Structure 1
Amino acid sequence: MKKILVALGCAMLTAGPLVAQKAGPYIPETDTAVLHKLEDWQDWKFGLIMHWGPYSQWGVVESWSLCPEDEGFTQRKPYGIPYYEYVQKYEGLAKTFNPTKFNPQRWAKATKDAGMKYMVFTTKHHDGFCMFDTKQTDYRITSPNVAFSKNPKADVTKEIFAAFRNEGIHIGAYFSKPDWNTENYWWPYFPPKDRNVNYDLKQYPERWNKFKQFTYNQIEELMTGYGKVEILWLDGGWVRPLNMHNDESLSWNKTPAQDQDIDMGGITKMARSHQPGLIVVDRSVHGPYENYRTPEQQIPNEPLSYPWETCMTLANSWSYVPGDTYKPVNTIIHNLVDIVAKGGNYLVNIGPGPDGEWHDAAYTTMEGIGAWMKLNGNAIYGTRAIAPYKDGKVCFTQHKQTNEVNAIYLLDENEQLPATITFKGITPAKGATMKVVGTNTTVKWKSTANGVEITVPASLQSKGFKHAVAFSFKH
């Protein structure tokens, strides 16, 4: 993940022409169990992702300061520190990482209370530090030289998955395909030039094969030792076969691309043999292993024709930053309604701190979200997009089971529900009853030359509704 919304690029190392291809079409899944899981996932609508690692001790962007590229999001602090000196200090953070206030049960409860139905956790980011008990490397949270390794909760991935699962929340594992710590991706014999593998794959194929096996083994550990996992969320889209590059990925490159094929077919087959129906998200690699797409830090202007999920920070940064500013609850609710009306899911990020706690503001923000979701969840969960999706300040969703339509009026901050709400594009069935979602209250409506007009009685206006109000009716 990136600290800010940018087109993250990659420079690659072998020579040879490569013709740019346009972003490929979405390739539908054929595995019936996966299709059923995708249908379930589209019912969940709202989820949490967490970026966490030793870098939280410095309050810096996750992993990217190790990347030897001159971009705003890769800058080292203090500015000008020699690269290898910085790398040594960064990797030394593992030894002092000691989140003694780590309490995943509190996170899980706050997530459930916020109305979130699934969670994705960063088991390994690009820096290669593993937040799980891998046997493939010593660069892991359970390594004896890590301060937290003596804690009974040292395998934080296992603890997090169990705590969230106990709250009925579905589990996803974030995993970075590139690994900047292992010698078979960034070989110490050569200096890294950018975010890509730093040696010629054609000249050293045995080294790349070792990296492929390393990746396979780590993913298999996650698929076999951590209970039920329903989403494998893969990041680092520059690791892809040569023929899978498109205009987007080539626009990242500064040198010709290499064939960084890690055998996604073999990985997916293995993973699903252990986790039947597993959703695989090979982010930005538009092929058969990208079961849904993940626009980052943005909401599409129009509905998309395939399963998708906006991933976005709840504050400003993906990783922990002291004093980070959290988005207002009103903004989060409006984003959620907009995304769901367009047929997507909303995955919001919180970065835990070095002590194992969230910011206090994260908890209060989640509480505010939950208060709205408790009242209006029926207008969100289990719904699908219905044209025209949005008319002015009104967004539409439709229950896939009952076919009831929800017209969701977006309230500005501190706005009182108006006496009259009008929308175009959808008309209730003749004689249909219109209800305020989450209450037993009905309201009157009529068709006019300007569309459907809802009359809101003064008793409803005075109830102090916040963020958005949903009205349901038969269509």
Structure 2
Amino acid sequence: MKLHRLLSLALLGAIALHAPSAARADSRGEYVAETDPLVVRKLDQWQDWKFGFMMHWGPYSQWGVVESWSICSEDVGWCQRPEGVAYVDYVKQYEALPDTFNPVRFDPAAWAEVAREAGTKYVVFTTKHHDGFSMFDTRQTDYRITAPNVPFHDNPRADITRAVFDAFRAKGFGIGAYFSKPDWHSDDYWWPRFATPNRHVNYDTRKYPERWRRFVDFTHAQIGELTRDYGRVDILWLDGGWVRPGDTLEDVAQGLAGVPWPQDIDMPGLAAMARRNQPGLIVVDRAVGGRYENYRTPEQKIPDEPLPYPWETCMTLGDSWSYSPNDKYKSTRTVVQMLVDVVAKGGNYLLNVGPQPDGQLPAEAVSRLREIGAWMKTNGGAIYASRAVAPYRDGKFRYTRMKNGDVYAIYLPDADEQRLPAQLEIPGPSPRAGSRLAVLGSDVQLEWRREGERTIALIPEAAREATAGSPAWAIRLPGATGRMR
């Protein structure tokens, strides 16, 4: 049986980032606020964007398997290799995937247009995942998309990261570069002299400091290329939180046979270099905490309450981060209501789609994104540039606050609710006396009155009909709070 068939049986449907706690983005310790005024300004702009688009893509998409993780020798259910294939043989075949990677239908302008139609405002693209394959024209390694052995190397769009960044920048998007700190292809991270029992560097960095120094220099050089040679970059989104100084390890790296030696890549030097190239760059050193995690990234989940620092839920549209045949995509209603819940709690929502091996976005994902975008086109005024406001949520309502003092009460219907109730009782902030209330998507003025701590709004039949079938309804409450400074 061919390897890709074995893989599909063993790995299809695995959820890539359903990793154990050591791989999740739940940072420990206090958030350290940034003081650089350029970064603070960029963070404020990023918080205005609210809704982002992410893509995990690489040669692994040809097999439709979890990105990178199946070459990690850890005995966990979400990255099992197929029965009957020896680990060493599997890794060799995985690392040969670039030899057949030829995404001739890759059209970054089409990606950017779909993302724009979805209502997203920034993109985070995987320039390099843990397997070490660079989706950009790096000069530091031959394991890259532009290498001569890759069939796509002579395509005009062969430098995929450049093509993606240019296309999205042309549509006015903020630009984020996902970059994996660990590199399982590098001999200076996984040294062939030793076995690779887990995700960590497989030699004692204290015993072999020169080898580790080479890896640090390699990492800095690649990030230098991305931040110097690829135009404006707004976010450096670093993954692989187990790569960190020894004094920050605590118990984060001790699971899955964690290692006792540090994996310090000199974040102060790296961040300083990247910001010389990109003044105001947001740095997201995921799961590490400290001054280089400018915002935090709860993964595949939404916090129960607002968080007291900038944050972003990163989540898949389907079950998998990378392309998986027959992936099960979330409904439009589910995504919209998650987005509203995240934004009401003061966060951003980063939604991931895995492109196909031929370079196209899956048709079902595109359809779903356009449906989400239709809702955003009508209701984006309640989402973009908003901030959290108490009570954040109450029953089926979520609240967002605008800089002019207006509040939006967003009603999240049950699955069987196709139309707004004829009367809404909206707890919380009171509209300014004499103001005009309306449901976004309808010009019909609502009659309203204040009773105690609730706003009673009557929804005319015309407004209910005009907005029928929406996954969420937003009602503007003018002047419900003071202006934001």
Which category of TM-score, normalised to the shorter sequence, fits these structures? over 0.9
The CA RMSD measured in Å over matched residues stands at 1.5
Partner of 1:96: 100
Structure 1 counterpart of 2:283, from 276, 280, 283: 280
Partner of 2:147: 143
1:417–1:465: 8 Å Cα contact kept in structure 2?
no
Structure 2 counterpart of 1:220, from 215, 218, 224: 224
1:23–1:246: 8 Å Cα contact kept in structure 2?
no
Structure 2 counterpart of 1:384, from 373, 382, 387: 387
Q: Which one-letter code corresponds to 1:275 in the other structure? A: Q
SS of the counterpart of 1:9? Answer: helix
**Partners of 1:218 and 1:256 in 2: how far apart?**
25
Output aligned runs, 1:337-356, within 5 Å. Answer: 337-356=340-359
Structure 1 counterpart of 2:411, from 404, 409, 412: 409
Partner of 1:359: 362
Partner of 1:374: 377
1:24–1:246: 8 Å Cα contact kept in structure 2?
no
Q: How far does residue 421 in structure 1 lie from its aligned partner after superposition?
A: 1.3
Provide the TM-score with structure 1 as the length reference: 0.95
- Mean alpha-carbon deviation: is it higher for 382-391 or for 422-431? 422-431
Partner of 1:231: 235
Output aligned runs, 1:249-260, within 5 Å. Answer: 249-250=252-253, 252-260=255-263
**Partners of 1:172 and 1:91 in 2: how far apart?**
26
SS of the counterpart of 2:31? Answer: coil
Cα deviations across residues 65-114 of structure 1 (Å, max 9, x unaligned)?
000000012211x2241010000100110100000100111110010111
Structure 2 counterpart of 1:47, from 32, 49, 52: 52
Output aligned runs, 1:127-138, within 5 Å. Answer: 127-138=131-142
Count of aligned positions:
461
Q: How far does residue 427 in structure 1 lie from its aligned partner after superposition?
A: 2.0
SS of the counterpart of 1:172? Answer: strand
**Partners of 1:255 and 1:54 in 2: how far apart?**
28
**Partners of 2:186 and 2:59 in 1: how far apart?**
17
**2:475 is the alignment partner of 1:471:** yes
**2:85 is the alignment partner of 1:72:** no
Q: How far does residue 465 in structure 1 lie from its aligned partner after superposition?
A: 4.4
**Partners of 2:30 and 2:267 in 1: how far apart?**
18
Unaligned stretches of 5+ residues in structure 1: 11-21
Q: How far does residue 429 in structure 1 lie from its aligned partner after superposition?
A: 2.7
Cα deviations across residues 113-141 of structure 1 (Å, max 9, x unaligned)?
11100000000000000000000000001
Partner of 1:6: 19
SS of the counterpart of 1:252? Answer: coil
Cα deviations across residues 12-63 of structure 1 (Å, max 9, x unaligned)?
xxxxxxxxxx921000001000000000000000001100000000000000
**Partners of 1:44 and 1:107 in 2: how far apart?**
18
Cα deviations across residues 294-322 of structure 1 (Å, max 9, x unaligned)?
00000000000000000000111001001
Q: How far does residue 450 in structure 1 lie from its aligned partner after superposition?
A: 7.0
Partner of 1:164: 168
**Partners of 1:229 and 1:190 in 2: how far apart?**
37
Partner of 2:179: 175
Structure 2 counterpart of 1:62, from 63, 67, 71: 67
| Pair 1:255–1:4, CA change in 2 (3 A) | closer
**Partners of 2:326 and 2:305 in 1: how far apart?**
34
Partner of 1:264: 267
1:422–1:450: 8 Å Cα contact kept in structure 2?
no
Q: Which one-letter code corresponds to 2:80 in the other structure? A: Q
Cα deviations across residues 256-303 of structure 1 (Å, max 9, x unaligned)?
432110000001000000101000000000110000000000000000
Partner of 1:444: 447
**Partners of 1:33 and 1:136 in 2: how far apart?**
30
**Partners of 1:386 and 1:301 in 2: how far apart?**
15
Provide the TM-score with structure 2 as the length reference: 0.93
**Partners of 1:121 and 1:87 in 2: how far apart?**
24
Q: How far does residue 438 in structure 1 lie from its aligned partner after superposition?
A: 4.4
Q: How far does residue 418 in structure 1 lie from its aligned partner after superposition?
A: 1.0
SS of the counterpart of 2:409? Answer: strand
**Partners of 1:265 and 1:2 in 2: how far apart?**
33
Q: How far does residue 7 in structure 1 lie from its aligned partner after superposition?
A: 2.6
Unaligned stretches of 5+ residues in structure 2: 1-13, 481-485
Q: Which one-letter code corresponds to 1:72 in the other structure? A: G
| Pair 1:187–1:245, CA change in 2 (3 A) | same
**Partners of 1:132 and 1:46 in 2: how far apart?**
25
Q: Which one-letter code corresponds to 2:227 in the other structure? A: M
**Partners of 1:171 and 1:113 in 2: how far apart?**
17
**Partners of 1:9 and 1:384 in 2: how far apart?**
31
- Mean alpha-carbon deviation: is it higher for 212-221 or for 438-447? 438-447
- Mean alpha-carbon deviation: is it higher for 294-303 or for 412-421? 412-421
Partner of 1:184: 188
**Partners of 1:209 and 1:4 in 2: how far apart?**
29
Q: How far does residue 412 in structure 1 lie from its aligned partner after superposition?
A: 2.8
Partner of 1:14: none
Q: How far does residue 6 in structure 1 lie from its aligned partner after superposition?
A: 3.3
Partner of 2:127: 123
SS of the counterpart of 1:435? Answer: coil
**Partners of 2:17 and 2:132 in 1: how far apart?**
21
Structure 1 counterpart of 2:36, from 13, 31, 46: 31
**Partners of 2:259 and 2:19 in 1: how far apart?**
21
Q: How far does residue 253 in structure 1 lie from its aligned partner after superposition?
A: 4.9
SS of the counterpart of 1:188? Answer: coil
2:133–2:185: 8 Å Cα contact kept in structure 1?
yes
SS of the counterpart of 2:307? Answer: coil
Q: Which one-letter code corresponds to 1:406 in the other structure? A: Y
Structure 2 counterpart of 1:211, from 185, 197, 215: 215
2:439–2:463: 8 Å Cα contact kept in structure 1?
no
SS of the counterpart of 1:434? Answer: coil
| Pair 1:388–1:128, CA change in 2 (3 A) | same
**Partners of 2:258 and 2:52 in 1: how far apart?**
37
**Partners of 1:304 and 1:252 in 2: how far apart?**
26
Cα deviations across residues 424-443 of structure 1 (Å, max 9, x unaligned)?
22222333321223443321
Q: Which one-letter code corresponds to 1:36 in the other structure? A: R
**2:426 is the alignment partner of 1:420:** no
SS of the counterpart of 1:234? Answer: strand
